[in-house]
Chains A and B, each alone.
Chain A
């Protein structure tokens, strides 16, 4: 296997609605990532991005963003209609072939141009689910109710997840929602979709992020402390919510096995849990104990730029290695509704 590390990253602050275009955001974050890696963009051997046409409300919405990365002379490039975490997975795979040693990964998502309550139901089975108008909040509420019914968690647990994430987000310049919140006060709030309250839901965000991956000795030569990808895997579960147990996440467990979580403890975990009950489900699927610091960035409850949230988790985990000196950390990304598809990436300080 070719050793691969994250040697550069960049993100923009998530906001409810930005006036700047995806292309401008991508220019900013890719310049940050390339600058940190200290490489020339012409040395990038492969570029891969992740985004979703439906957020922009336009076919081929991703095409314009190659303006930002300067696709001239022509570049070797691909795109996934997925969160940037999966774009990074493709970049990691591409580096295994050994013929390129630098990969640029970026993703962008603006939820502000559309109405999420109208857009996201279109992500469901168009024959059996979308016509019901089943929105993500209702689906997440069904998941939360099922979790409560198992006795694994309580509504107080959900509020505590929210309070901790928002407190962690204080000082994170990229976060959208942060602050000190009292759990009892949170529990006094009205339901939006019972048993979920507004704070159990993610904010609606615009954002972008980028990373530069480098292979082996190249990575070691570029930065003092690269974040080495010791394992990365992703899996998908059944789509039909009535056909699976919503209180568990077998695809997360499988991805963690594939990424090698069992080979040692992690100090930090950055989890993509846009709805507070999902953090409980993902933690359990990963088997994390109380010693693990979860979401020091504030997680997806503090900022949720759809298509970017997963890549941001990986960046925040990489920062723990590169900037905070941690030895082994975990990042998790999710896609689809009710945690249907999941990715786990483990980063280490040494090769």
Chain B
């Protein structure tokens, strides 16, 4: 076996400003902005990178087939190995996980992973429909499952509104966040247009341009870095999207993904041992759904955590202090942002949205028909338990 018994570390993180349309940069400019910041954060230069991994959601979103090929030039990839990951909406976190695997495989010291989306250069809604008209969009797919969760758990309707307000107020504290809605209220969310019942406009993620980059290093290299975020474990699970009896509210792949993750990280009681979670919540109701879907709350208890304010930055189990996907959604990057924000929290470098005393954090993403899951545990110490 290689160095896999000793966890690798994230030694550099870079994010772009997320916004509706980054008309000031090209796609190469966008990915280079994130990658340059990750290298600066790590105190490295392009030549220090041994291999690259790129992730993004469907190429049809921007209309460029396998864009990593032309982006190689902007990322100093020439002469190096470069992989391109695509696992639907979970891709950003999968890309970070694949970069971690590349380091754990023992061949590379430093791997640069970059995930991005530039939705303003295409039409993601059209792309989601496979280029055919009449796409129902992700919200149309998820709305019946949200309704099923409400029916099953008996959650009151205002839970979704509360999540929307919390995440948008968190985003005000995050300099990179796209949506800044300091005046948002429960009433404004409730009164906003109904898009896919029960999901209102203000309970939905925006379309964003943006890129996120991380540098993952092997254990020995990361040890020389002053504030590495240790990757205690990563996990990915997939299941079929449709079959009779499938639990679409709490998919088995999600349960299995987090169970494997906690086991590998040495976490016996996730609710107590994890200090902060960056969960992929593109529609507000997915906060309680994933709290229960990943055994962070008992069945039927997720919405109560939200309702009691436990998922606030100052709560006992903060969720999405960055503002989450509800505030910034460059689709292919969104999962890596969860991973990177989890890392920033345990590094103590999350700035105004820092959770006090965060030592262990999880990043999470899911995709397609809520059937692809990718997760990671980041920690301030390589062996915290």
A residues engaging B (CB < 8 A)?
1-2, 52-54, 57-60, 62-63, 66-67, 71-82, 86, 89-90, 93-94, 96-99, 119-120, 122-127, 129-130, 233-240, 243, 250-251, 254, 335-337, 340-341
Contacts and interface: CB of A to CB of B under 8 A. Distances in A.
B72 A59 contact: no
Contact of B72 (A80, A233, A239, A337): A239
B236 A81 contact: no
Interface string B86-99: 11100000100010
Interface string B211-237: 000000000000000000000000111
Nearest to A94: B101
B252 A79 contact: no
A251 B79 contact: yes
A54 B86 CA distance: 13
Interface of B: 1-2, 4, 26-27, 57-73, 77-88, 94, 98, 101-102, 104-107, 127-131, 235-241, 243, 251-253, 256-257, 260, 368-369, 371-372
Contacts of A119: 65
Given A86-B84, A96-B4, A236-B69, 19 more contacts: A53-B58, A59-B127, A59-B129, A63-B88, A74-B253, A76-B260, A79-B87, A80-B84, A81-B66, A81-B68, A90-B83, A97-B105, A99-B4, A119-B65, A126-B63, A126-B67, A235-B79, A237-B78, A341-B72
Nearest to B126: A59
Nearest to A47: B238
Leading 9 A-B pairs by shortest Cβ distance = A59-B58, A74-B253, A96-B105, A58-B130, A74-B239, A98-B1, A77-B238, A81-B86, A93-B105
A120 B64 CA distance: 10
Contacts of A89: 83
14 contacts: A52-B65, A53-B58, A58-B130, A59-B60, A59-B129, A60-B88, A66-B240, A75-B239, A90-B83, A90-B98, A97-B105, A126-B27, A239-B71, A340-B72
A132 B27 CA distance: 18
A72 B127 contact: no
Given A66-B240, A71-B240, A124-B70, A236 B80 contact: yes
Given A71-B240, A97-B101, A250 B79 contact: yes
Contacts of B79: 235-237, 250-251, 254
A53 B63 CA distance: 11
A341 B240 contact: no
A235 B82 CA distance: 7
Contacts, number: 181
A123 B66 contact: yes
B104 A97 contact: yes
B83 A54 contact: no
A238 B73 CA distance: 6
Give the residue among A122, A130, A335 with the most B Cβ atoms within 10 A. Answer: A122
A45 to B, nearest CB: 11
Given A59-B60, A98-B1, A341-B82, A54 B65 contact: yes
Contacts of B87: 77-79
Contacts of A126: 27, 62-64, 67, 70
A159 to B, nearest CB: 30
A59 B130 contact: yes
